[in-house]
Amino acid sequence: MFQLKCKLNRKDVDEKVNKSYHGCESFFSTVLDGYVVYAVMEYFGMTTPDGTPSKNVPDPGGSHLFEKVGEMVDKFVLLHVQPEELLLEDALRNQDDQCQTTYRCRYPTCDKVYIQEKRRDNHELKVHGIRIQDQSQDRSPPNPRNEDGIFNYSHNILKSGLLLRDFQDAIKEGDGGRIEYIWKFLMLMFKVCGKTKYALAAIRLHAQLNALLTPREAHSLRWNRTINLKGGVGRNVAIDQVMEHNIKETKELMYAHGANLNFSCAQVYSRASNPIKDTIYNFDHEIKLQKQSSKHKRRNDGDNFVVVKTLQHVNALKEIPGRTHQGIGTLPKDPISALDFKDLSLWLTKHKKSWVNPYN
């Protein structure tokens, strides 16, 4: 990514995303487009983006095009990191962990029972002088040193980028059901990246939709997360984003008050923000004022071609065991596979219990 930033001369990209959000988002979108084009070229055997396919060619009528695209997604995006038997075994183990509410001392002649596992372990060490290691199977992914670090890096960009783009498309279409479904994957991504607050917000959302709220409130929360301000299909925006814009407009009114701002004045400005905005809109409409479009101009396709040529030069989507880069190191093929699922289960259970009785 840093190499591509330098090649594209994207000076608006900062190491801290919150310092240049739009620049980082635009850059990542350009890189993702390049990866998608390069994946198509690799799968269909094309030397250039406008070349002729030489393998996996669909029928001339295009009847099998979607089938071929699905196979391409399976090859470059939906990699099977863990066997299905392991996933089933893990699900059963998590159910057993959730059902177990007490921890009995494992010393043969001791009948002590504890609510917390850590207290049980401390008792066994202090009283009986034993430390019993957990013999459960290690669920962490194998050491990827013998894998292809560049291929794994490319797969991580493709998978996370397409997930983000699917989420953005669901917001534009106002598809509350799809937004809810994608939040499940985002919760795992946030947890493995250490973004605990965002992961907690994700599981809180699902707890509200499936348990904490009434069916009427849950339906409202699921389908009222976006709003269409200008009309048209696929032009919805997130309500949170609209609220942030409204707060910014209210703050701009408050700034004019300077050092004399107090609570009562701030309250007046907050209540007057929307009526002032409506008055300005009606005035502009009456005088037929033509405003410039707020839509950002798309960069030319030259940036995408630079990304594709760079990926083609390093064979980013051809798996070569043992290959790596000093700026990448070793990465798992699937970021979610690096999760400690036992810790995840305990974390989920802890918060579910706190929501059952909020006064504890």
- Per-residue pLDDT tens digits for 161-207: 999 999 999 999 999 999 999 999 999 999 988 888 999 999 999 99
Higher pLDDT, 298 or 126: 126
Higher pLDDT, 58 or 231: 231
In which residue are the tokens 């974390």 written? Answer: 347
Alpha carbon of residue 187 to chain centroid:
7
In 3D space, the residue among 164, 196, 202 whose CA is nearest the CA of residue 183 turns out to be 202
User: 287: which 2 tokens?
Assistant: 């005088």
pLDDT score, position 249 = 86
Whole-angstrom Cα distance, residue 161 to residue 24?
Answer: 13
* Mean local confidence (pLDDT), 323-339: 78
pLDDT score, position 144 = 53
Higher pLDDT, 139 or 357: 357
pLDDT score, position 357 = 66
pLDDT of 72 strictly over 50:
yes
Percent of the chain having pLDDT more than 70? 85
Residue ranges in the chain assigned as alpha helix (H): 2-8, 21-44, 65-76, 84-99, 117-127, 149-173, 176-192, 196-207, 215-223, 239-255, 263-286, 302-314, 341-356
Q: Indicate the domain borders of the chain.
A: 2-81+141-174+225-329, 93-127
Look up the pTM and report it: 0.75
pLDDT score, position 280 = 87
Contacts of 32 (CB under 8 A, 6+ apart): 157, 158, 161, 162, 165
Burial 207-219 (b: 16+ CB within 10 A, else e): eebeeeeeeeebe
pLDDT score, position 356 = 75
Q: What is the DSSP letter of 333?
A: S
- Tell me the pLDDT band of 209, cut-offs 50, 70 and 90: very high
**Three-class SS state of 173:** helix
